[in-house]
Amino acid sequence: MTPLFAQTDKVLPEVKVKGKKKEKHTNEDKVNIFVPGQKLMHIDSVVLQQYKFQTLANLLSQQTPAFVKSYGFNGLATLNFRGSSSAQSLVLWNGIPLQNAALGIADISTLPVALIDKISILYGGSSALWGSGNVGGALLLENDLPVFDSNGRKDISVSLGAGSFSQYSGGARLAFSGRRWFASANGFLQSAQNNYTYTDNSNTEQKMPNSRLRSTGLMLNAAYLLGEKNVLSISGWYQHYNREIPPALFEGYSVKNSRDQSSRLMLHWRKEKGTNTFYAKTSIIEDNLDFNDSAISLHSRNLSYQSYNELGWKKRLFGSHNLLVFIPLNYSWMKTTGNSQLRTGLSAAYAMEFFRSKLNVSLQASGQVIDQYAIFLPGINTSYSLFNWLTIRANIQRSFRAPTLNELYYTPGGNPNLKPEQGWSQDAGYSLKTDPDTKLSLTHDVSVFNRDIKDWIIWFGGAIWTPHNIALVKSRGVETENMLRCKLGNAAIHLGLNTAYVIATTQQSYAPNDSSIGKQIPYAPRYNGQMNIGVTYKRLYVNYNHTYTGYRFYTIDESAWIEPYNTANVQLTYMLPLPKAKSLQLSFQANNIFNSTYMVVSQRPMPGINFMAGAKLNVIN
């Protein structure tokens, strides 16, 4: 976790602490009201600005204890929470799932920080609230709510960035607020050669070939104020990534390339009337993945669609009790194969507060139907403030994930006989937080968790990979988050340390004499941690970030592994005020400053020392 400038209120991801005045970390009532016993991590806006020219993969790998499985500087990157698989980690944009409808995963290397205003992580499963796939946790991406201004207001920003390996990027944002209308447009362009130096298997230095990147993105948001606390909004997000895929260390060369195109459209209505809140959202997402390898005359196209819809009602009852009832419906289909999947259900949550909001309890239940599966998903979580500075929490949930379209029907390799993943998860912890306004303040958080998942789905094979069920996988571990701050006049010094210890092992197998019993699941590091140390002085922010990732086994019997690695990174930001409500933000980031040689995924070398510098001009009228 990274600290922030003095004018911001928090940067460390924090556990929600209930009190007389509740903090709203997100725009989602599901998070702000109905998950008091789950750990919530919030990334501060100062950190987002520092990573504005990078992707979520870079931000999350350096600033959170979640494991980012990256296939190289220009490759796929997926998110793994607490020893879960990438398909068990949900990614939501304004409450809409971004998982590819066919693959069931989200590539966070194609999600630019520049288009996102808020980022939070909700740890632990909560399938009753979020549906199939929320087993390990959820990454919440949000845009700011529309702001209406009868005087008329314009916000304009322009940014430019450049870095190592011929990386160049540019972006612009324009927002207009009127008495009833709000509109904004946010776009970016990016290009890179990514021709960094690496050492091949014969211990010879090489320049990474076939690794160019070209990308564009545009997000449009508009809203209309129908009446007091009655808003209709529409959001559109288009992006296109053209990526060459460099060779792995076992390949002599590569002419592979991938063209990833996504179009996302969402319509959202929300009305508050007295103690009632009504809302409806509908969306359509198109994901078009084109893969080409001219060396073997291979062309593969994966065109999939997803429509997520939700109708809900929230009622504030007597005292501080809240009831939420909603109907989710998710229909996904693959145009290339004609296969489809329908997910629907009826969900409810009830939140209660007692003893002047010291005790918070939330009950959740959902009945869901996914194709031929009918499942009941209950859950309960609670928090209690023992003192103003100490809160304890606990969470128990039933988890469920249906097989994806690719897992069932991919040709060749799909397995229509797959069983859904299901089980239970429990986590508990405490958060200690002293007064941040004192000269010396401390934030300390500990979480312990356990998860048992039956029929865990994993891909393996020879020439043709096929998904199979593992009878039972057990994940358990401990996470800690710590931050010490000291104020000295105009300066503030911070020291932070995050740690994660995760054991995720096969407990039972359908195969006789299976050598994976008791062994760690592939690509689930046992140890993971980050340290941040730095200073804020007036408008200057400097931070040193150090990350450690432990052994990753890439075979099910632990017979092969990748060595642990450390990376050291430096971030610097300076805010320069200008006349007439203008400001210029200058940023600089150096990654892997000790030039470590490492791989996150086997046979995919990562770059050595590299730099990124940028400038952003903000104008408010």
pLDDT per residue as tens digits for the range 516-540: 999 999 999 999 999 999 999 999 9
- Asked if residue 16 belongs to a domain, the reply is no
Strands (E), 77-151: 77-80, 89-93, 96-97, 118-123, 137-142
- Asked if residue 553 belongs to a domain, the reply is yes
Q: In this structure, are residues 484 and 493 in contact, taking their beta carbons and an 8 Å threshold? A: no
Provide the pLDDT for residue 23: 62
Q: What's the rounded Cα separation, in Å, for the pair 41 and 82?
A: 14
pLDDT per residue as tens digits for the range 562-587: 999 999 999 999 999 888 768 999 99
- Residues 579-603, mean pLDDT to the nearest whole number: 92
Tokens of 376: 């009941």
Q: What is the tally of structural domains in the chain?
A: 1
pLDDT at 2 over 80: no
Q: In this structure, are residues 249 and 603 in contact, taking their beta carbons and an 8 Å threshold? A: yes
Instruction: For residue 619, give the amino acid letter.
Output: V
Half-sphere CA count of 181, side-chain side, radius 13 A = 7
Neighbouring-strand partners of residue 588: 572, 613
- Residues 95-118, mean pLDDT to the nearest whole number: 93
Question: CB count, 10 Å around CB of 448?
Answer: 14
Pick from 113, 135, 125: which is nearest to 50 by CA?
Answer: 113
Tokens of 548: 């450690």
Give the pLDDT band of residue 15 (cuts 50, 70, 90): very low
Q: Which helix (H) or strand (E) holds 130?
A: helix 127-130
CATH, residue 331: 2.40.170.20
Q: Which residues, in sequence order, are CB contacts of 390 under 8 Å at separation 6+? A: 430, 431, 432
Q: What's the rounded Cα separation, in Å, for the pair 497 and 563?
A: 22
Annotate 179-207 with b (16+ C-beta within 10 A) or e (fewer).
eeebbbebbbebbbbbbbebeeeeeeeee
Tell me which residue range forms the domain holding 575. 29-293+302-620
- Asked if residue 21 belongs to a domain, the reply is no
Provide the pLDDT for residue 16: 43
411 against 84, higher pLDDT: 84
pLDDT at 597 over 50: yes
Tokens of 399: 């988890």
Q: What's the rounded Cα separation, in Å, for the pair 456 and 472?
A: 7
Could you tell me the CA-to-CA distances from 240 to 77, 265, 302, 307 in Å, in that order? 16, 15, 15, 20
Task: Give the rounded percent of residues in the chain with a pLDDT score beyond 70.
Answer: 96
**What is residue 524's three-state secondary structure?**
coil
**What is residue 51's three-state secondary structure?**
coil
Could you tell me the CA-to-CA distances from 334 to 82, 410, 426, 432, 464 in Å, in that order? 30, 10, 35, 48, 21
- Asked if residue 7 belongs to a domain, the reply is no
pLDDT per residue as tens digits for the range 375-384: 999 999 999 9
Provide the pLDDT for residue 1: 43
Report residue 218 CA to chain centroid gap. 20
Q: Which residues, in sequence order, are CB contacts of 59 under 8 Å at separation 6+? A: 43, 47, 48, 51, 113, 119
pLDDT at 511 over 90: no
Q: In this structure, are residues 245 and 75 in contact, taking their beta carbons and an 8 Å threshold? A: yes
- Asked if residue 22 belongs to a domain, the reply is no
DSSP 60: H
- Asked if residue 540 belongs to a domain, the reply is yes
Positive or negative, the CA dihedral 597, 602, 603, 605 is: negative
Provide the pLDDT for residue 126: 87
Could you tell me the CA-to-CA distances from 290 to 18, 243, 284, 298, 356 in Å, in that order? 47, 10, 20, 11, 56
**Three-state SS string across 257-307, please?**
EEEEEEEEEEEEEEEEECCEEEEEEEEEEEEEEEEEEHHHCEEEEEEEEEE
pLDDT at 445 over 80: yes
pLDDT per residue as tens digits for the range 462-506: 778 899 999 999 999 999 999 999 999 999 999 999 999 999 999
**What is residue 329's three-state secondary structure?**
strand
Structure-token match 């904004």, residue found: 184
Provide the pLDDT for residue 465: 87
**What is residue 88's three-state secondary structure?**
helix
Question: CB count, 10 Å around CB of 293?
Answer: 15
- Residues 406-434, mean pLDDT to the nearest whole number: 93
- Asked if residue 8 belongs to a domain, the reply is no
pLDDT per residue as tens digits for the range 331-379: 999 987 889 999 999 999 999 999 999 999 999 999 999 988 899 999 9
Provide the pLDDT for residue 460: 82
- Asked if residue 1 belongs to a domain, the reply is no
pLDDT at 128 over 70: yes
CA-based max dimension of the chain: 74
